[in-house]
Amino acid sequence: MPITKHSRLVASTVAVALGATALAACGSGDDSKAASGPVSLTYWTWTPGMDKVVDLWNKGPGKKDQITVTVKKQASGDTLVTKILTAHKAKKAPDLVQAEYQALPTLVSNDALADISKEVGDAKGKFASGVWQQTTLGTDALYAVPQDIGPMMFYYREDLFKKYGLKVPTTWEQFAETARALKKKAPDTDLTTFSANDSGLFAGLAQQAGAKWWTTSGEKWKVGIDDAATRKVATFWGDLVKDGSIDNQPMYTPAWNKAIDTGKQIAWVSAVWAPGTLTTAAPDTEGKWAMAPLPQWSDSQDVTGSWGGSSTAVTTDSPHQAAAAKFAAWLNTDGDALNALAKDSGIYPASTSAQLSGAFTTPPAYFSNQPDFYTKAAEIAKTTAPAAWGPNVNVAYTSFKDAFGAAAKNKSDFAAALKTMQDATVTDMKKQGFGVSE
């Protein structure tokens, strides 16, 4: 199979879309053997405190194997993806890169990531299947080792739920009823807000509902952003915004911080990393929040979405792919490394064994009132729905912010905003030369 931008991406991701595992991906060449003698690797990452974690490697396993890793701090998101691709075009990409899961198809399509499936030993058994699938793209290849994940959860002010006589919703129907009941009891108080400034939140909610935004058939892509599952999610939140049952302001602003710190907003649909955000945004309410599973679309369901998460990948430009893969596996499976990542970087590990050990045997300080916080988080993480990403997530996310930002502000039709997002994504894919079936 020729390794071209479009054919390689379709080949690598068709199994994700269809749930298959037998499709073999095109490799990037068998140049993964590490050179003899000392090896120096460069790692591009945005994770805070990574220097301290890498020091553990350099003074321990790395020293023994004569493999030294140097951290080069980078910006995250699309900025880093662009920088990696630019460096790769010049054949000067670093040995290792941190990559968000949704960025992997783009990097693979540009032949920037090496297949390290033969270099990571038994690492697969240390991760939930849905998480591992995001780094294999559903094939027999492996393009990265999972690092952290962001299973979604429901956070609420335990004291104020009691004050207003509210029950924790277990379904989205109950969630809407709770929002409307609160408005009647306390008109100046909102259950939560719909925020259009973080596309990952909406993507995770759609994922929980069963959406698959990118799928493939043969050599063509199908964009399903405006599918039934996502329309259900968009309509649900649009109705709550239109009738004033919830707020329509974006998150992470001074106004939002004040709202959750003062009890003007008493719940937040977020992910496992929320305690860190709340510590800064709502310092006066420490010990007053509790965490529960995300509401479900039906009583029989038990599934959550994912908001965030990243992996450690080895580039095709690295002359020391085996050594780089060895470090990537150590970083994301070794107990000491994961404890250090939790302590110095604040991540929630993808490794299932690490989720109930070390730093995760006690709750976050902000949630000291909920001793089983991480036990419950680990159980929720197991229910994460598989994700299906495509080659232009950045375009879809930008369109979401524009279209839904306007719809939320104007309290206009969320379904129309979703169609705008769909159309923008399809138009961009066609412009890039991808085959897209209607």
Q: Assign 63 a pLDDT band (cuts: 50, 70, 90).
A: very high
Residue 243 has pLDDT above 90, yes or no: yes
pLDDT at 282: 96
Residue 22 has pLDDT above 50, yes or no: no
Give the predicted TM-score (pTM) of the model: 0.88
Is 86 exposed, middle or buried (CB count within 10 Å of its CB: 0-12, 13-18, 19+)?
exposed
pLDDT at 9: 53
pLDDT at 356: 87
31-40, 268-277, 393-402 — which is least confidently predicted? 31-40
Mean pLDDT of 191-196: 96
pLDDT at 36: 59
Summarised one tens digit per residue, pLDDT across range 107-145 is 998 999 999 999 998 999 999 888 898 899 878 999 999
Summarised one tens digit per residue, pLDDT across range 382-426 is 999 988 899 999 999 999 999 999 999 999 999 999 999 999 999
25-39, 137-151, 420-434 — which is least confidently predicted? 25-39
Q: What proportion of the chain, given as a percentage, has pLDDT over 70?
A: 91
Residue 31 has pLDDT above 70, yes or no: no
Summarised one tens digit per residue, pLDDT across range 335-384 is 999 999 988 888 899 999 899 888 899 999 999 999 999 999 999 999 99
Summarised one tens digit per residue, pLDDT across range 156-184 is 999 999 999 999 999 999 999 999 999 99
Summarised one tens digit per residue, pLDDT across range 102-115 is 999 999 989 999 99
Summarised one tens digit per residue, pLDDT across range 307-334 is 999 999 999 999 999 999 999 999 999 9
Better pLDDT: 393 or 33? 393
Mean of all residue pLDDT scores within the chain: 90
pLDDT at 219: 85
Cβ neighbours, 10 Å, residue 345: 16
In degrees, rounded to 5, the angle at the alpha carbon of residue 108 between the alpha carbons of residues 104 and 109 is 115
Residue 19 has pLDDT above 60, yes or no: no
Write the single-letter amino acid at 352: T
14-18, 273-277, 345-349 — which is least confidently predicted? 14-18
Question: Which two tokens mark 395?
Answer: 């375009």
Residue 34 has pLDDT above 80, yes or no: no
Residue 3 has pLDDT above 60, yes or no: no
> Under a CB-based contact definition with an 8 Å cutoff, are residues 120 and 325 in contact?
yes
Cβ neighbours, 10 Å, residue 171: 14
